[in-house]
Structures are given as C-alpha cells and as structure tokens.
C-alpha cells in the first residue's frame, strides 16, 4: 500500500516544490517506488523533475475531471527515477470545473486508489493556497509534510495550516495528520533562525523532523536544469540532506 503525503504550506516560496522533488528523488535513490503529483498550476514540480509541462498530453487536470486514469497520465522521469503526474496552466481551470462534480474534494483520492499497489510513496506538491486543489491533496493523503523557514512569522503562519488540517481531519479525512515540520533553507549562523528552531521544537516536539535542510545554492540552481538538486549535484550539502530526509521518512512510516 502506498503512503501518500502532501507537501503543504499556504505561504509561497517556502520550499514546498524543492522539498517535493528532492524528497521524491531521495526516496527513489534509496530504492522506493515513487509517484510525484503536481497540484500546482505553475507546474514547477513537473518541470523540476525533467518533464516538460507543455508536452504532456494528459495531466492531473484530466485525472481530477475523470477523463484519464493516473496510470495513463503519469510519465516516467528517467533522470530522476520516479514517475510524475504533471500539471500545467490548464489545472487553474479545474477549481471552477470541480464545483459541478460530486465528491469534488475526493477526486484525487479516488483516482490514486487505483495505483495503490504500484508505489511505496506518493508525494503531492500543493499550491500556496487552501484551495479546492489543496483540499483534494489533503483528502487523498495520510499525512502532511510542512516545509518551513525558521523566520519570525513562521509560527504565526503555521496556525492557519494547523487549523485547516484539523478541519479536514474532522470532516473529510480521518487519516490525516501532520507527519512533521521540516526546517528548510536553514542557516545556523543566523541567531534568529536558531531561536525559532528551538521554539519550534519546544512547541511541536518530535513533530519536528530531525533532518534540517541547509540553505544551499545548488538546490536553487537545479530547477533551471530541470532537475532536483539530489540528481543535479548529489554531492551538494543540500542534496545529501534530502537523501537523509528520505531515510528519515522511510524509518517514520515503518513506525506509522
Ligand atoms: P514553494 O514551492 O513553496 O513556492 P520553492 O520550493 O519553489 O517554494 O522555493 C522557493 C525558492 O527558494 C526557489 O527559488 C528555490 O530554488 C529556493 N530554495 C528552496 N529551498 C532552498 C534551499 N534549501 N537553499 C537555497 N534555495 C532554496
Ligand atoms: Mg511550489
């Protein structure tokens, strides 16, 4: 049975897509069968996995609207070692079109049930909003991975997300929980980041992942080559951290 995780945070630019593609590549590297689902109409996770979003005959849009199955719409990213259910601008229209459909927040969950035996992990990259698309991600998932920067307003922003997750848990998906908070773009030389990191651990305890992702320029450069950092430069500090994170995730799900 596949374990399904959403990478979510309603803030933009916090590292969701970087986390999704690098965790996918890290998991593939340690031998896991991975499907990466791009739920953001910007299609950054698709492009960042070596798949051209403009060339895709079928995307997650077709899957959500019921005109394609996951197995036929997903494509292999040869370079990255995982499969990609891609997205492009077309997906922005799904928000409106889904309103008409029955069980509109459960479309992705129902579609993923068909490939449950084909993967060990399904990772869903969510857009920076609490939209119908994100809701589809949250309804399909067993858990949420929350990437966050250790900055002054980080904790404040988190309470909205925590409340949304609680509501989805109560009303739509009893399985859903926060798997963990991932500290990303971390710079230990900045005292404030250390302080926020300590606060985070004080508040959320073992919900904070042990692995810390450093700020690392190679991770930022990789998308322009259409690759996750883990594939683009495996020796980079940031890439190694994501492979460590993949191992931590494998260990966590064994205890789930
Ligand atoms: P989101 O998907 O939440 O909008 P992204 O993953 O696209 O965020 O990251 C935002 C920007 O920060 C991108 O330019 C990305 O390359 C950069 N970035 C993400 N993580 C790191 C990191 N650990 N070190 C350096 N740059 C990073
Ligand atoms: Mg993104």
User: Does the Cβ of 109 fall within 6 Å of ligand 1?
Assistant: no
Among the bound ligands, name the one nearest to the CA of residue 40: 2
CA distance 24 to 40: 16
The pLDDT score that the predictor gives to residue 158 is 87
What pTM value is reported for the model?
A: 0.97
Q: State residue 138's pLDDT score.
A: 97
Question: Which numbered ligand comes closest to the C-alpha of 245?
Answer: 1
Is residue 97 predicted with pLDDT exceeding 80? yes
Nearest CA to ligand 1 atom 24: 215
Q: Is the pLDDT reported for residue 66 higher than 90?
A: yes
Whether residue 154 has pLDDT greater than 90: no
For residue 188, the CA-to-ligand 2 centroid distance in Å is 24
Q: Which tens digits make up the pLDDT trace of 176-203? A: 999 999 999 999 899 999 999 999 999 9
Cα–Cα distance measured from residue 52 to residue 194, given in angstroms and rounded to the nearest whole number: 38
Rg over alpha carbons for the chain, rounded to the nearest Å, is: 17
80 sits in which H/E element: none
CATH of the domain at 156: 3.40.50.300
pLDDT tens-digit series, residues 10-61? 889 999 999 999 999 999 999 999 999 999 999 999 999 999 999 999 999 9
| pLDDT value for 79 | 94
Q: Is the CB of 212 under 6 A from ligand 1?
A: no
Mean pLDDT score across all residues of the chain: 95
Q: Report the pLDDT value the prediction gives residue 58, as an integer from 0 to 100.
A: 98
Cβ-proximal residues to 242 (8 Å cutoff; 6+ apart), any chain: 19, 22, 23, 25, 26, 213, 219, 228, 229, 230
The protein residue with its alpha carbon nearest to ligand 1, atom 16, reads 220
Report the alpha-carbon distance of residue 176 to residue 243 in Å, rounded. Answer: 25
The total number of structural domains in the chain stands at 1
Ligand 1 binding pocket includes 150 (Cβ within 6 Å): no
By residue range, what is the domain housing residue 93? Answer: 3-255
Q: Does residue 67 register a pLDDT over 90?
A: yes
Candidate of 18, 134, 187 to mutate for ligand 1, largest count of ligand atoms within 8 Å of Cβ: 18
């Amino acid at each position: 049975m596949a374990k399904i995780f959403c990478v979510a945070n309603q803030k933009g630019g916090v590292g969701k897509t970087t986390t999704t593609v690098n965790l996918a590549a890290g998991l593939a590297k340690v031998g896991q069968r991975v499907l990466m689902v791009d739920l953001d109409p910007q299609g950054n996770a698709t492009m960042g996995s070596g798949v051209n979003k403009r060339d895709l005959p079928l995307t997650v849009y077709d899957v959500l609207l019921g005109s394609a199955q996951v197995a036929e719409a997903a494509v292999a990213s040869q370079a990255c070692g995982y499969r990609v259910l891609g997205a492009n601008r077309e997906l922005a229209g799904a928000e409106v079109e889904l309103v008409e459909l029955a069980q509109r927040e459960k479309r992705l969950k129902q579609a993923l049930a068909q490939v449950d035996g084909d993967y060990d992990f399904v990772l869903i990259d969510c857009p920076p909003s609490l939209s119908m698309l994100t809701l589809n991600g949250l309804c399909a998932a067993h858990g949420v991975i929350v990437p966050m920067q250790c900055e002054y307003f980080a904790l404040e922003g988190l309470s909205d997300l925590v409340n949304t997750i609680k509501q989805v848990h109560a009303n739509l998906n009893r399985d859903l929980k926060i798997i963990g908070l991932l500290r990303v773009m971390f710079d230990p030389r900045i005292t404030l980041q250390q302080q926020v990191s300590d606060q985070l651990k004080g508040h959320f305890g073992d919900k904070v992942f042990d692995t810390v992702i450093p700020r690392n320029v190679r991770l930022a450069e990789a998308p322009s080559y259409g690759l996750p950092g883990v594939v683009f430069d495996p020796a980079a500090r940031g890439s190694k951290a994501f492979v460590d994170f993949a191992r931590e995730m494998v260990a966590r799900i064994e205890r789930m």
